[in-house]
Amino acid sequence: MPKGGCRQAGADALGGPPPVPGTAQGLPDKGPRIPLTDPRLTAAYAEWSACMKEKGYSYANPADAYSDRKWGAAGTTPLAATPPPRSPDEVSTAEADIACKISLNTVGRLVAVETAYDNQYIARNADALRSFAQQLSARTQRAQAVISQDGAAG
């Protein structure tokens, strides 16, 4: 076994460990940042919270509703082939959440804000992002070469 194990040998062959999917790891400046204090976000959350209050629920934002401790581990468990059963209270809370999000276009508003910050980030980091994309492409080509070699290393 190579020093550091097969994982290290693979990372060395490709020029370093791969970025973690779904994260900003490796992106220039660690990716775009969206301030939670942006007035468009705070307004969207306040309106959603007021809508939920009208339906009998008290949450500051959708994440608070989703991660409410009374849902136990079920509220924070990744999707599974067979999800755990949900309580009637959790289902009614989720229904109110969706109704409020739809009536207020909460998700559309949040995506619009995120897109604006993403576009600013892309414009500000265009050269670094091009370089990052070239590095990923080169690493992908090295990975394809390693995979196509006869035999397996490590």
Q: Write out pLDDT tens, residues 4-18.
A: 787 787 777 777 776
What pLDDT score does 76 carry?
47
Residue 75 pLDDT > 50? no
Torsions phi, psi for 140 (to 5 deg): -65, -40
pLDDT above 50 for 131? yes
- Tokens standing for 109? 């508003």
Taking Cα atoms as reference points, which of 115, 111, 118, 106 lies closest to residue 61?
A: 106
Check whether 112 has a pLDDT greater than 90.
yes
pTM, rounded to two decimals? 0.70
Average pLDDT, the chain: 86
- Residue 104 buriedness (CB in 10 A; 0-12 / 13-18 / 19+): middle
d(CA 84, CA 75) in angstroms, rounded, equals: 10
Helix/strand/coil (H, E, C) string of the chain? CCCCHHHHHHHHHHCCCCCCCCCCCCCHHHCCCCCCCCHHHHHHHHHHHHHHHHCCCCCCCHHHHHCCHHHHHHHCCCCCCCCCCCCHHHHHHHHHHHHHHHHHCHHHHHHHHHHHHHHHHHHHCHHHHHHHHHHHHHHHHHHHHHHHCCCCCC
Which is more confident, 139 or 57? 57
